Chain A
Amino acid sequence: MGADAQVSMTAPRLLHPGAWWLWAVALAACALRTTNPVLLCLIVAVAGWVVVSRRADVPWSRSFASFLRLGMIVIIVRLVFQILFGVRVPGTTLFTIPEVTLPGWAAGVSLGGPVTVESLMAALYQGLRLAAVLACFGAATSLCSPYRMLRALPTVLYEAGVAVTIAFTFAPQAIVSSRQVREARRLRGRSDRGVRAWTASALPVLEGALDRAVALAASMDSRGYGRRGSSSASVRRRSIGLVLLGLVAIAVGSYGLLDPGAPALFRIPALALGAVALLGALVAGGKSSTRTRYRPDPWVAPEWIVSLAGFVAFGSFVIVGRLGDALSPSTNPLEVPAVPFVAVVGLLVGTLPAWFAPHPPTLASTAAPLVVAA
């Protein structure tokens, strides 16, 4: 249709969700390839900068902060585990906690002992890596809502949609109903703070979330979700089988690409197999499905820029990884991490979406408040 031709570079619109997710996944892949704290902090900064410049004025755009908080928790937990149970690395001892001798069946697990700067730094780097990956996913979810991504997926994958839609709506709704339940506790004269308040509210929150899940499923069904076209059961089974095979193969392939120790078969061949299987499912499913799409998102210049920016960043990390070991700075002996120039340039390219992605549409009028107080 002619709509694609009219898309201008600057007019406010929502970017294709696939572009945001490709960009975010590429950044997350960068993070997974390194333990260099400087680069990891840069990745978080890049993700944060793009989120701040291009997120829409919608409730889910605030999820980036929650992902950052989750990242902090991950780092703290990683450090505490290192202090209590971590492998004892020789080096500069900071302090010593009493060692517990464990019975024979728990051999290999150590509890307590000297805590060294080196071991803490190694744990910090690893925690930081996970936090950076979380920040990348937080960026993707705040830049485009999960539902829009789901909608952009091929029709065959969409068939798994009821479960996925409900899963996506569960967390935000659980947050809303847990606030309600805690307020209700306060109205009844019970404390709304502390561990007991949280545990006591778990059951009503789950109940409420389940009720809403059923209501949502009923609404989807009564609006025609999951209507079968003329396809036979065997065709459907075949395409679902292909989808499962494709997803597993792609998962294995991605793991192989990220873990340098994985066998070669688990890298490109697995990815290729997955792609072929998904393509086959797409063809089979496309024939049987009657679904159509309303105003599909165009894929034009800004989409290319955003996704390529992610790939350039990833590419720069691959190159740096080939050239030396700047991506995994040594913690034993402890040294100041080197800052590889190529990776920094790559990450700078990764910030391009902050300028080249279109602005999201703002709330058209000020007639209604964003939060309905009723």
Chain B
Amino acid sequence: MIRFEHVTITYPEATSPTLFDVSFEVPEGELCLVVGVTGSGKSTLLRAVNGLVPRFSGGVLSGSVVIDGRTTSDVAPRDLADVVGVVGQDPAAGFVTDYVEDELAYAMENLGVAPDVMRRRVEDILDLLGLHELRNRPLASLSGGQQQRVAIGSVLTAGPRVLVLDEPTSALDPAAAEEVLAALTRLVHDLGITVLIAEHRLERVVQYADRIVMVPGDGRPVVVGTPAEVFGESVVAPPVVELGRLAGWSPLPLSVRDARRVAGPLRDQLASVGTEVFSRAVRSLGDVVATTDSLQASYGPITALRGVDLEFRAGEVVALMGRNGAGKSTLLNHLVGLREPAAGAVQVMGSVPHRLSARDVVRVAGLVPQDSGVLLYHDTVAAECSASDRDAGLVHGTTRTVLDRIVPGVDASMHPRDLSEGQRLGLALSIVLASEPPLLLLDEPTRGLDYGAKQRLVEVLAQLAADGHAVVIATHDVEVVAAVADRCIVLAEGEVVADGPARDVVVHSPVFAPQVAKVLAPLALLTVHEVELALAAASDSSYS
């Protein structure tokens, strides 16, 4: 169905090709997962399927991409619309119309589908994706998960044989992600659609995949195979696979169910070790850095926060979790003074953030927003660093020193846009950290990061907490919460529904529990690293 033959793609002004000599084939009716580290060219590969690369991106494509017997160099993307449906990373950026129904019908109108057929197909897709309650809603009023489903529906109505999705769940909370993936597997199984999907959070999708295309990104050839084959040696693997490797299970388990079936002996072995080694060394907590007192916030008639009372202390890493639209970003914005509370109070280091001048607020609280790129608008890394020193009135070179500590070896003459996702986040983080705010806030910092970059981020955050910063991360990524958070707050509909030690909050939740916890329940172990430590302790005690 999809065939890449010796495809090499070079963007304009790039010194080396983004993809080099890629050849693979995806047969009809398969769900094929594209994996690779950040910046390895996954998005480029996906966008090449219907010719958006190079037609809308510039650059040169050599070799050929054949889709359903048609070569993309001969056919414009619009003429492939009935064969390939593409959903980009940000669904809202691709919306053309204003209402859900119109958006679903848009592609069919362009294809000239007869009105009665259109009517029927829209109804079918509304049912298939569970959108019927939203049919008359303006697109702007939908939550992230709903928008993602509408975006998928809007390409499905055209009846494509191939569906291409770029990180369809990266912006979604765990429950909404499940919803989207369940819809996708239904499409593959019921309609025989071929799906090509890129995703960083492998733990969410790997069990559904028939085939994996791994793009290493460092010039080595792509690896294609079944999940078990590819993950035998892959540098990126979901926690359950890592656990399988650690325990030496063969074949490697891909889902929690597979792993649980073989994990009995491991559980017994771990249960024999005392529980005290499981818990992370508790950081000593310092003074209260920030408080909110019955904080309320609203957007027009909608209440975003309803009476939130919280306290953040120096030296702790707090994870803020909850559905899309539960009020996590709103809370962060209030803590950094971007918004004025509708009622109640916010205090950071004894002052009210929204009353402080921009220059003073960065000394008490720093926020790295969801799209960290918006913080960067100079044309070189060096210019960003010196501008940051100037803005905050710091000694020249401070930001660069922080940057070298977080991500060493970033080329000072590079354009921030050309940095990898992880490097860009590091740069944004160091600009915020340069003035050493006691309260550090991060909104969805792991979006678009691969496991390696996430691991480095986790180390940086742990170090910052040890240095006495209060770190608050709003995130959907349960694995990161498991790895770094001391305390977890769950928000729902603008209210705090859970607030306690991260281990207690996440371990028994079917939605928020990380994979390792699900495999090893009832043991309260959260990460592969913890299992490793526990095993080491177990072997020590057996020798003594």
Contacts and interface: CB of A to CB of B under 8 A. Distances in A.
Contact of A224 (B82, B115, B370): B82
A59 B99 CA distance: 12
Contacts of B106: 223
A186 B391 contact: no
B533 interface: no
- Most B CB atoms within 10 A — which of A58, A214, A222? A222
A290 B359 CA distance: 58
A361 interface: yes
Interface in B333-359: 336-338, 357-359
Contacts of A223: 78, 81, 85, 96, 106-107, 110, 154-155, 158
Nearest to A211: B93
Given A59-B138, A187-B362, A368 B143 contact: yes
B374 A372 contact: no
Interface stretch (A122-130, A225-233, A246-254, A276-284): A225-233
Contacts of B326: 373
Contacts of B248: none
Contacts of B137: 363-364
Contacts of B133: 364-365, 367
A373 B338 contact: no
Interface in B116-139: 116, 118-119, 122, 133-134, 136-138
Contacts of B249: none
Interface SS of chain A: helix, strand, loop or mixed?
loop
Could you say which of A186, A204, A289, A373 has the most chain B C-beta atoms within 10 Å of its C-beta? A373
B19 interface: no
B142 interface: yes
A162 to B, nearest CB: 10
A42 interface: no
A368 B115 contact: no
B107 A224 contact: yes
Interface residue tally of chain A, by bracket?
Answer: 35 or more
Given A184-B375, A222-B86, A369-B302, A292 B143 contact: no
A186 B302 CA distance: 25
Contacts of B329: 373-374
A360 to B, nearest CB: 10
Interface stretch (A89-97, A143-151, A259-267): A143-151
B361 A186 contact: yes
B138 A58 contact: yes
Interface residues of B, number: 88
Contacts of A219: 88, 93-96
A373 B304 contact: yes
B183 interface: no
B146 interface: yes
Given A59-B140, A188-B391, A180 B330 contact: no
Interface centre among B84, B96, B113, B144 (most CB of A within 10 A): B96
Contacts of B369: 183-184, 187
B111 A183 contact: no
Contacts of B82: 224
A227 B385 CA distance: 48
B327 interface: yes
A191 B302 CA distance: 29
B109 A368 contact: no
Nearest to B90: A215
A296 to B, nearest CB: 8
B94 A215 contact: yes
A220 interface: yes
A5 B453 CA distance: 60
Given A189-B392, A223-B107, A363-B141, A151 B112 contact: no
Max chain A C-beta neighbours (<10 A), residue from B98, B101, B158? B98
B374 A191 contact: no
Contacts of B115: 1, 292-295
Contact of A222 (B78, B338, B392): B78
A219 B88 CA distance: 8
A221 B94 CA distance: 10
Contacts of A229: 112
Nearest to A289: B112
Most buried by B among A186, A361, A365: A186
A93 to B, nearest CB: 46
A168 B301 CA distance: 26
B182 interface: no
A309 to B, nearest CB: 25
Contacts of A370: 141, 299-302
Contacts of A215: 88, 90, 93-94
A294 B105 contact: yes
Contacts of B154: 223
Interface in A157-202: 165, 180-181, 183-192
A372 B143 contact: yes
B170 interface: no
Interface of B: 50, 52, 55-56, 76-82, 84-86, 88, 90, 93-98, 101-102, 105-116, 118-119, 122, 133-134, 136-138, 140-144, 146, 154-155, 158, 171, 299-302, 304, 324-330, 336-338, 357-359, 361-362, 366-367, 369-370, 374-375, 377, 387-388, 391-392, 431-432, 435
22 contacts: A58-B138, A58-B140, A187-B375, A212-B93, A214-B56, A217-B56, A218-B77, A218-B94, A221-B77, A222-B52, A222-B78, A223-B155, A224-B107, A225-B96, A227-B79, A294-B115, A295-B101, A364-B136, A365-B133, A371-B300, A373-B299, A373-B327
Given A227-B78, A294-B101, 8 more contacts: A187-B338, A187-B432, A188-B432, A204-B374, A224-B79, A227-B111, A369-B141, A370-B141
